[in-house]
Structure 1
Amino acid sequence: MPTNQYGLSLVVLRNVPLFSGLSEFELEKLSKVCGRRRVERGAFVVRAGEATDFLYILLTGRAKVTNTDEEGREIILAWLGPGESFGEMGLIDGSSRSASVVASEPCELLVLGKDAFQRCLQDNFLVAQRLMQLLVRRLREADRKIESLALLDVYGRVARLLLDVSVEEEGRRVVKKKISKQDMARMIGASREMVSKVMRDLELSGYIATEGDLVVILGS
């Protein structure tokens, strides 16, 4: 169960993008109703089909948003990192969890209950506005993924995934977060063997290069 740690939460809240722009007074009020939760690697934070009672904000660690197809195979819908939140949609429309969230490494989370979350939205237009921007961004990402699945072959889907998860670093596009071939396959709807073949072909053709755990996208 979430534990309340007033004071420590106040420090953390200042660095959460969803709550940036709130005054110290508003942050202090919010910190009094926030809890914290720690989850070990491989553990479920939430499961699909559960009632939605809390908003979660990832403070440390990484987690994956997953679902399963009709044959029980895992599909990775998204990756979450520090500062990112989940659970908003169910708190807004009262629906159950539409997907599971699993810790891919030890995670610490900030937890906000349904009543406190709804009061926060009612009292703070900035939070409501940032939440709308977050949901619009996720909708655009979902549209982009659907487009990739419908229009691109596996080569195109792998290339788009690499570009989507890459960052600019010293004038280069670099994939810094290590993603296994199996996880890549689960994200783009392909087999691990096919993803491995595509990655080899992209490297042999000079489109990407590996440097330790980094993947460098060449000519981008």
Structure 2
Amino acid sequence: MATFDAAARERLLARLEPTIASLARAGRLRGYPRNAVIVHEGEAGDDTFVLLQGRVKVYSSDLDGREITYGVIEAGDYFADMWFDGQPRSASVMTLEDCICSVVPRAAMEDLLASMPALARLMLARMTARVRTATTKLRDLALKDVYGRVVSVLEGQRGPATVSEPVTLYPLTHQALASRVGSSREMVSRLLKDLERGGYVELGVKRITLKKKLPPRW
């Protein structure tokens, strides 16, 4: 397990907004290698993780290996905070690269929420935003076809591209995109190849460049 001296710890915490930094200071720092599953769906747990370095994905999978990704969390945010109802973890979390987290135990979190109204407001606002995102994703799954969901993900990150202002999404693989839209990699790859032939996108290694606004239907 990686160890962190006081200077290294302060450098990591200095990157955070003050309220999140206060939360991170209440935990212990841990390092995780790429592709490590930090949180397992269905297991008990009440630690909250503040992500100081790296990226993680929040996902669910079944016994056949099918997977859906709920979102990707970047450094400066936190995850695994849905333990207030005492239920098991509702999703798994895997590192997408080497990560450093501050692991905050439940008792410390409860003390901070009681003494820091700013933290409680921030967590409530972010939980509301996540519910809105989940509602949008559920609506897309129910009302849009695979192509429509692909467009929502691609243009939802940084907005639609124009001929004069292309948008490059990196890192983004066909499998990662398929997991986010609830489809197979083969189906998503076919759609992307068609869009590339139509001049709408350019495909690279872990990279998709949007060259102009994607058509509403395909």
Cα distance, 1:206 vs structure 2: 2.9
Over residues 1-36 of structure 1, what are the superposed CA-to-partner deviations in whole Å (9 max), with x where a residue is unaligned? 89786565455444334715x8xxxx4x972x3211
Distance 1:126 1:5 in 2: 29
Task: Name the aligned partner's letter for residue 209 of structure 1.
Answer: E
Q: 1:103 aligns with which of 81, 88, 95?
A: 95
Distance 2:7 2:46 in 1: 23
Cα distance, 1:115 vs structure 2: 0.6
Question: What is aligned with 1:193?
Answer: 186
How does 1:1-220 map onto structure 2 within 5 Å? 8-17=8-17, 19=19, 27=22, 31=25, 33-69=26-62, 71-90=64-83, 92-166=84-158, 172=165, 174-210=167-203, 213-219=207-213
Q: More deviation in 151-160 or 174-183? A: 174-183
Distance 2:44 2:4 in 1: 21
SS in 2 for 1:38: strand
SS in 1 for 2:213: coil
Instruction: Kindly tell me the number of residue pairs found equivalent between the two proteins.
Output: 212
Contact 1:166-1:173 at 8 Å conserved across structures: no
Q: More deviation in 132-141 or 76-85? A: 76-85
Residues 68 and 195 of structure 1: CA distance in aligned 2, closer, same or farther (over 3 Å): same
Residues 167 and 19 of structure 1: CA distance in aligned 2, closer, same or farther (over 3 Å): farther
Cα distance, 1:46 vs structure 2: 1.2
Cα distance, 1:195 vs structure 2: 0.3
Task: Name the aligned partner's letter for residue 16 of structure 2.
Answer: V
Residues 167 and 12 of structure 1: CA distance in aligned 2, closer, same or farther (over 3 Å): farther
Normalising by structure 2, report the TM-score.
0.83
Contact 1:167-1:176 at 8 Å conserved across structures: no
Task: Name the aligned partner's letter for residue 99 of structure 2.
Answer: C
SS in 2 for 1:93: coil
- Gaps (5+ residues) in structure 1? none
Task: Name the aligned partner's letter for residue 106 of structure 2.
Answer: K
Distance 2:88 2:71 in 1: 18
Please identify runs of 4+ aligned residues in structure 1 that moved more than 6 A: 1-4
Q: More deviation in 180-189 or 128-137? A: 180-189
Distance 1:2 1:50 in 2: 25
Distance 2:208 2:70 in 1: 22
Superposition CA RMSD, Å: 2.9
Over residues 85-143 of structure 1, what are the superposed CA-to-partner deviations in whole Å (9 max), with x where a residue is unaligned? 111111x2222211111111111111111011111111111111110111011101101
Cα distance, 1:63 vs structure 2: 1.2
SS in 1 for 2:153: helix
Contact 2:57-2:95 at 8 Å conserved across structures: yes
SS in 1 for 2:82: helix
